[in-house]
């Protein structure tokens, strides 16, 4: 059977393809330029000779990232934060979304709880009350200060809740008939079926924790405990001071680089982890996002 495509449909497909291609190119070009600057000599960058290919190829900016400064300790803090943060987020999302996915006649006060969670999306406690709470709990300068204030992402919880509501009730009923309790049903039956939804909200959680710089600036009193994005934020502002205060081997490295090459190298390194994670969960992303938005 030959599929007929109307002229309007053909025009839309062509326009959509061109538009998305141009958008992709516009997103890729800055990364290519950033990579070229990071591998270029300081004089070539200062003269504006670098566009899409390195000039006076050198790796001193990356040597500084790995040998000097606080890049590697900050990277470790961010990795540790992402690992703990994603685990906490997913655990709380699952155990919260499961009862809320039931009808109100099965869970007492279901609508009240749901309203409570939805209100927190619109109205939060504010920066100062949150800071006071974190301080009173003794979490300042601790990795948990970066995780616990956002331990339950409500939007992600709603996605997983709606995904659960779209699953056949017969699966859960069959498990109950076989003698499974509530927790057995959740963790042995329902949880394996939630892979697309959990992959989707897991990606949200990874990106959120990885890109957050403001929390580290507020809750970390010692710069040694800064996560990577907070460190990069301060570095972009104070890189000239870093160069001026450098000593020993670090000073020798910095003599062959400037502010732009150093910033470019460290910013590019900071994007690599997310770029590596996304391809592995891409196949689940669209499915989880679409199915998680079917039912309200």
Between helices 259-291 and 60-67, what is the axis angle to 10°? 70
Alpha helices in 142-258 (DSSP H): 154-165, 169-177, 182-184, 191-193, 195-211, 214-219, 228-245, 248-254
Domain presence at residue 1: no
- Is the pLDDT score of 220 beyond 60? yes
Q: 56: which DSSP letter?
A: S
Name the least confident of 49-63, 86-100, 241-255: 241-255
Identify the band that residue 283 occupies on the pLDDT scale cut at 50, 70 and 90: low
Domain presence at residue 130: yes
- Is the pLDDT score of 105 beyond 80? no
Q: Tell me if residue 212 falls in helix, strand or coil.
A: coil
Q: In whole angstroms, what is the distance from residue 54 CA to residue 34 CA?
A: 10
Domain presence at residue 10: no
Q: Give the number of other Cβ atoms within 10 Å of residue 75's Cβ.
A: 19
Tell me what the pLDDT averaged over the chain comes to.
81
Q: Tell me if residue 34 falls in helix, strand or coil.
A: helix
Q: In whole angstroms, what is the distance from residue 235 CA to residue 227 CA?
A: 12
pLDDT for the residue 239: 63
- Count up the domains in the chain and report the number: 1
Q: Say if pTM beats, i.e. exceeds, 0.85.
A: no
Domain presence at residue 26: no
- Is the pLDDT score of 91 beyond 90? yes
CATH number of the domain within which 185 lies: 1.10.3720.10
Which position has the token pair 């689940």?
284
Per-residue burial over 182-213, b = 16 or more CB atoms within 10 Å of its CB, e = otherwise: eeebbeebbeeebebbbbbbbbbbbebbbebb
Q: Give the number of other Cβ atoms within 10 Å of residue 100's Cβ.
A: 19
- Is the pLDDT score of 84 beyond 80? yes
Q: Domain of 226?
A: 60-296
Domain presence at residue 28: no
Which position has the token pair 């497909």?
13
Identify the band that residue 68 occupies on the pLDDT scale cut at 50, 70 and 90: low
- Is the pLDDT score of 235 beyond 80? no
Domain presence at residue 271: yes
Domain presence at residue 40: no
Per-residue pLDDT, averaged over 266-285, amounts to: 74
84 or 270, which is more confident: 84
Q: In whole angstroms, what is the distance from residue 17 CA to residue 262 CA?
A: 36
Between helices 71-100 and 259-291, what is the axis angle to 10°? 10
**pLDDT single digits (tens) 10-37:** 888 889 999 999 998 998 898 888 888 8
Token pair of 177, please? 């008939």
Domain presence at residue 41: no
């Amino acid at each position: 059977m030959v599929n007929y495509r109307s002229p309007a449909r053909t025009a839309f497909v062509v326009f959509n393809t061109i538009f998305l291609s141009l958008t992709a190119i516009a997103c890729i070009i800055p990364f290519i330029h950033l990579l070229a600057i990071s591998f270029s000599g300081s004089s070539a960058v200062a003269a504006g000779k670098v566009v899409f290919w390195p000039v006076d190829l050198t790796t001193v900016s990356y040597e500084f990232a790995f040998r000097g400064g606080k890049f590697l300790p900050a990277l470790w803090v961010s990795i540790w934060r992402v690992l703990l943060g994603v685990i906490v987020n997913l655990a709380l999302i699952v155990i919260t979304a499961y009862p809320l996915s039931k009808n109100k006649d099965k869970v007492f006060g279901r609508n009240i709880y749901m309203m409570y969670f939805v209100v927190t999306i619109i109205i939060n406690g504010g920066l100062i009350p949150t800071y006071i709470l974190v301080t009173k709990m003794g979490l300042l300068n601790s990795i948990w200060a970066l995780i616990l204030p956002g331990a339950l992402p409500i939007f992600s919880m709603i996605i997983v809740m709606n995904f659960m509501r779209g699953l056949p009730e017969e699966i859960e009923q069959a498990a109950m008939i076989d003698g499974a309790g509530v927790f057995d049903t959740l963790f042995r039956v329902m949880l394996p079926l939630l892979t697309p939804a959990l992959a989707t909200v897991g990606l949200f959680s990874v990106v959120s924790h990885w890109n957050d710089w403001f929390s580290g600036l507020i809750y970390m009193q010692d710069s040694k405990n800064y996560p990577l994005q907070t460190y990069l934020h301060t570095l972009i502002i104070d890189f000239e001071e870093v160069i001026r205060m450098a000593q020993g081997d670090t000073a020798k490295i910095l003599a062959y680089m400037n502010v732009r090459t150093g910033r470019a190298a460290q910013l590019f390194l900071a994007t690599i982890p997310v770029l590596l994670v996304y391809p592995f969960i891409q196949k689940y992303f669209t499915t989880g996002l679409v199915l998680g938005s079917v039912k309200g």
